Structure formats: structure tokens, C-alpha cells
Chain A
Amino acid sequence: MLWCLLIIVQLTLWTDPLWQLITLIVIVVPGVIAKTPWGKTLKTIKYILPVIPLLLIAEAILYPAENLNTPYAKRTLFTIGCVKASIGGFLFGLNLVEKIVFTIIFTSILTYTTPLSDILYLMQRLGLPSQIAFIIAVAWRLGPFFRRLYNEVMLLLKVRGLKVERGLIGKVKYSIVAFIPLYNIALDMIEKMALAMEIRAFGVSKKPTILREFKFTLKDYVVSAICILLTLISIVLSISGYGRL
């Protein structure tokens, strides 16, 4: 949790893309120690790659130069007609891209290396309503189930002679038909789940029993101390004007 806090603080404070690279180090080092499957992690980034150039150009043009602190940042990057792009705006865009990419890497590391049950227990320990953890757990388990059902229905529609029209509209039409059986199944499941929860006394107690006990070891204390220290240093540096455009 303290590691999460450190990353959030750094992502928020640094606006200089160069300084933001420190956050990357803070993310990657524990990721390496936790043996993150980097292939899977990096795969998740590829979906936002097409957006990155657009974001950089848009920020370079649209970001107001008067918001920038340094003369270097206020300098013009290029001019096309009446459109003027600033270096600071471009760097701000770069920082935004870093924030998005680093957040994806950080959440991927968290999901690939930490069992969801640990995250949910932590939420319960932090005093969040048990219902929130419960909803996440059920959604997590039923997500793949419904995805499988959806794929199955899409296949089975073909044996019913449904013609698949090409293009986006065709796909949307096809998905709408597939939605009908899924909707019926989901309704039935929701009704039964509500019933099953009721007969297992869900909601009887506001504080259900937490099964697992977390015990801090020396290693945990050391890591916590490092995280707190780095968070404080980051705040002090930021207040002193470092890491800002």
C-alpha cells in the first residue's frame, strides 16, 4: 500500500518527463523482484500506442504557455499558420503519456504479482465496506465466464443461419442478437445469485469474519520504511521546485 502511495505521489508531483523516469524506476525495481511477467505487462501498453502521437501533438498545441514556469518550456516548438506549439506543451504531453503508461505498468505488476484475494483483504483491513470487496470478487470470477458465454453465443448464431454483414454496423447487429440469450442467462443468474447470497446469510453482519491474518516480517518493515522515506523526499523536492516544468 505504501508503494502505491509513493507511486501516486510521484506521478502527481512530477511534471518534468525526465524526473518522471524516477517513478518508472520505483515501479520497475519491485516488479523485477516480484518476477513480473513482462511480456504480458508490455502487451497491455500496445493498445494505447496509436493514441500517443495524437496526445503529444494536441498537448503541444493546446497547453497554455502561460502555465509553464521555465523560459525554455515557453519556447515555440513549431508554427503552422496560426497554430503554435510550445516545447513545454509537448513536454507536458510527454509527461501525460508517461503517467498513463507507468500507471498501466504499475497496475499490471500489481495484478500479475498480487492475488486479488490479497487486495480484497487489504481493502477489508482498511475498513472499506465488505460489499465492495464482494462485488469485485464476484465480477472478477464471472467476467471470464460471461466472456466465454459471449464467444459461445457468437459461434452458435452461425449454425442458426444468421448472416454476418460486413463492417461495423454488421458487427453491431450481430452483437445485438447475441445479447438476447446472454441477457436472459444473466437475468436468471442474478436472480439465483441473490437467492444463494440470502441463504448464506449475506449482509447479516456488517463486519464479516476475515479469514486471513497478515503478519509483518522484518522485510515488510524495511520496505515500508523505504517507501515512506522516498515519499517524503519526493514531496520535499517538489516543494523545492524540482521536477516541474
Chain B
Amino acid sequence: MNKGISFTQAFFTLLKRDLKIAIRHKGDIFNPLLFFILVVTLFPLGIGPEPQVLTRVAPGIIWVAALLASMLSLERLFKADFADGSLEQMLLSPQPLSLMVLAKVLAHWLLTGVPLILVAPLLAVLLHLEANSYGALMATLALGTPVLSLLGAIGVALTVGLRKGGVLLSLLILPLYIPVLIFATSAIDAAGLNLPYSGHLAIIGAMLVGSLILAPFAIGASLRVSTN
């Protein structure tokens, strides 16, 4: 009678469930986005509105704000499921844990990473980003934000059982974010100078592929530790 469901079915069921939950709590989508916009607005006020200065620092500001927004939004990735016990049900289910974790991370990225990518060009206009850097900005964000979600999920999975996990989370995952930040901003800078930046993109792509393969296992192992 119980034939079980295929991996694809399990993956899409969980993805749909997470998307549905998030859409019913719209704050989960909009708060990180608002945070992203607010942080970016703070910089011109803090360092002065001269266009030359802003042009120079725009890639860095957008990327740092994206890192922080992604980190803040990640905190909720496993929290609710951990609190109401559905996470434990997922750990007990016959489907492989890394598959389900991947579905959850994908849902998270669709809800927080994609809006961020869509808003970024608007903010880039506000910061007077070099006209020929837009392609690089979009490409690095598209390749880089999934890496942020995947790496960040490891840290979240490690701290989900802790009450004071928030501050610890930044200590755990921001160092892991640094390589993405370095290559993304140098790609945008190179594009601004009309230099080729496909090498940087290739490295970020390699990071994406690497973390896509390895991170789900680390996340799964961390969840097993946290829920013990």
C-alpha cells in the first residue's frame, strides 16, 4: 500500500510547501529586502553624495549589503520547522536529507535571493554605478547569492538549536562569505574598467557548483547534530 514517493516528488513537495508558507508570511520576503535597501541608502549619507566616490564604492556596498541581508534572512530558514517539530519529521523520513535540505535552501533563495537581484540594478543607479558594470553586477549576484544561501545554511543548521544563535551565526558564516565577496566585487570593478571578467565569473561559478554538491551534506550533518 505504501509505495513511497520519488525523490523528485519529495523535492518539489517540500519546495512548494516552503514557498507557500513564505508567501503567507509576506514579512519574511520583504523585511530582508527592505533591510538591503536601507543599508545601501545609509552609505551615501555616511560617506557623502559625491558621484565619483559613490561610483568607486558602489560594487562593494551592494555586495556587503547583500551579504548582510542574506545572513539575516537565513536565520528563519530552519527556525520555525525546528520549533514545531516538522524538521524532525523530515529527518525521520525515508527521503535523503541532503535532497530535502537542498529544496529548503532553493526555496529560501527564490524568496530572498531573487528579489535582491531584481532590486540591485535600481540601487546601482542610485549609487552611480559605472554604466558597463551592470551586466557584471547581475551576473555575480545571480551566481553568488545561491552560494551565500548554501554556505549560510550550514551555519544556520549548526546554531538552530541554540537560543543565542544570532550573533554566533555572523561569526560562523561571514568568514566563509569573504571569497565570494572578493571575486564578485573585483569582477564588477574589472567590468567598470572594460576589462574581461569571465575569469572571476568562472571562479564564482565553481564555488556555486562546489557548494551545491558539498553543502547539502554538511547542512544535513549539522541538522542531525542540532536536533539530536
Instruction: Check if A and B associate.
Output: no
Interface residues of B (CB under 8 A from A): none
Interface residues of A (CB under 8 A from B): none
